[in-house]
Copies of this chain bind each other. A is one copy, B any other.
Amino acid sequence: MLSKVETAAPGTVEGAGASEVVQKARAAKRAARRLAVASTKQKNEALAEMALSLEAHEAAILDANRKDLERAAASGSSQARLDRLKLTSERLRAIAASVREVIDLDDPVGRTVRAWRQPNGLEIAQVRVPLGVVGIIYEARPNVTVDAAALCLKAGNAALLRGSSDALESNKAIAAALQEAIVKAGLPEASVQLIEDTGRAAAQEMMTLNGLIDVLIPRGGAGLIEAVVKNATVPVIETGVGNCHVYVRKDADLDKAERIVINAKTKRPSVCCAMETLLVDEGVAAEFLPRIGRALKAAGVEIRGCDRTRRYIEDAVPATEEDWRTEYLDLILAVKVVDGLDEAIDHIETYGSHHSDAIVTESYSDARRFVNEVDSAAVYVNASTYFTDGGQFGFGAEIGISTQKLHARGPMGLPALTSTKYIIHGSGQIRG
């Protein structure tokens, strides 16, 4: 409705004057129609070819990746950024292996969600169908190019991939390898396409191609996600930002609490389900805080505490209002002493990002209140927030972790890459 590009008359000379984004989006739309009716067998064959092709083109891909790395190093990229960008023979084999894992995932397309017969004899079935054309806008890591392509294809979607300029040569080499495989398997080349224009205008164009792009999924840092949410008129699935809490209730088993806090903060501080704020009941602060303070410091964690926290962890940096809101993604932890369950829930609802939050408690009724009243994608009792992950939930690979409430919330497996349609079989019924 917003955009009329999708209604170009059949036979119109396409691409005449159209941008790369529009041309590829149109090709994706056509490919999506064929992918929607492709059999699971055909899609799995394409995935198997994709894995083989990545391995077969290792030399070209690593060569392209070296060019990206040289350019990135010359422009002064940080070591961490270079490492995320870097591909090796081993990493490429791991990426190919991850494509093969997608073969084993259940194909959600065609699954009947529910079906019933109406009193007038109409038979109504709600059936899973692909979303259509899925746009992914993402940053540096070239493995996202493969992951997104494989998951989209398995769910019957055409993928329109827009990576960052840093990884352009790597992404081009990878996309070429994937397209070769897809064509070999008899599916349309445009099932997976890379947008090579890494300029801002091209990304903006993707965000407003209503009618050609069905859904946009940004994957990357908060700035990228915010820009997409702000500027897109195409429906967006917001992913990623996690200001997660662990709340140690006064009756907690403190061994469990220590284990969970250390795991949630230190195991992999850069992921969105890592803990960023620890809340501790006043009643247990004198016992727990000195102990967890020592353990955290031993793990290299900087502590930013409220006034009450600093009575028990004396060298903690004073926390400011801003600390309660911050997703550090680093070995830094905000710590606050609270009066009890009400204050803890209020704090989480006020400052949290509704991603993953945990309570450590032995109280049945407090556990129930916490899981019912904390409005987050994942709420835990006596377990680490670091479990919020498609693989850990048993979904296999994930396309991201949704932090919005529409469509999908939490880790998104393949069904999150589908929609549904109603199919109605009748025998001439009309409505009175």
Binding site for B on A (CB under 8 A): 1-2, 4, 6-10, 33, 36-37, 116, 118, 122, 124, 129, 131-132, 210, 214-215, 222, 225-226, 229-230, 233, 235-238, 241, 253, 255-256, 259-260, 262-264, 267, 321, 325, 346, 349-351, 353, 367, 371-373, 375-384, 386-388, 392-394, 404-407, 409-410, 419-431
Complex CA gap A419/B403 in Å reads 11
B428 adjacent to A382 (CB under 8 Å): yes
A108 → chain B, closest Cβ, in Å? Answer: 14
Q: Could you name 12 residue pairs across A and B whose Cβ atoms are closer than 8 Å?
A: A118-B392, A118-B394, A122-B387, A214-B406, A215-B405, A229-B233, A256-B428, A267-B430, A379-B423, A382-B427, A383-B425, A406-B407
A235 adjacent to B406 (CB under 8 Å): yes
For residue A406, which residues in chain B have a CB less than 8 angstroms away from its CB?
A: 131, 214-215, 235, 237, 406-407, 419
Of B116, B131, B428, B429, which is within 8 A of A387 by CB?
B429
A10 adjacent to B346 (CB under 8 Å): yes
Q: How many copies does the complex hold?
A: 2
Complex CA gap A124/B259 in Å reads 20
B422 adjacent to A381 (CB under 8 Å): no
For residue A229, which residues in chain B have a CB less than 8 angstroms away from its CB?
A: 1-2, 210, 233
For residue A378, which residues in chain B have a CB less than 8 angstroms away from its CB?
A: 421-424
A168 → chain B, closest Cβ, in Å? Answer: 28
A350 adjacent to B424 (CB under 8 Å): no
A325 → chain B, closest Cβ, in Å? Answer: 6
Known contacts A36-B373, A375-B132; A410 and B422 CB within 8 A of each other: yes
Complex CA gap A140/B430 in Å reads 29
A267 → chain B, closest Cβ, in Å? Answer: 6
B253 adjacent to A428 (CB under 8 Å): yes
B430 adjacent to A386 (CB under 8 Å): yes
A157 → chain B, closest Cβ, in Å? Answer: 10
Known contacts A241-B1, A406-B235; A386 and B421 CB within 8 A of each other: no
B350 adjacent to A7 (CB under 8 Å): yes
A232 → chain B, closest Cβ, in Å? Answer: 8
A2 adjacent to B230 (CB under 8 Å): yes
- For A227, give the chain B residue with the smallest CB separation: B2
For residue A10, which residues in chain B have a CB less than 8 angstroms away from its CB?
A: 346, 350
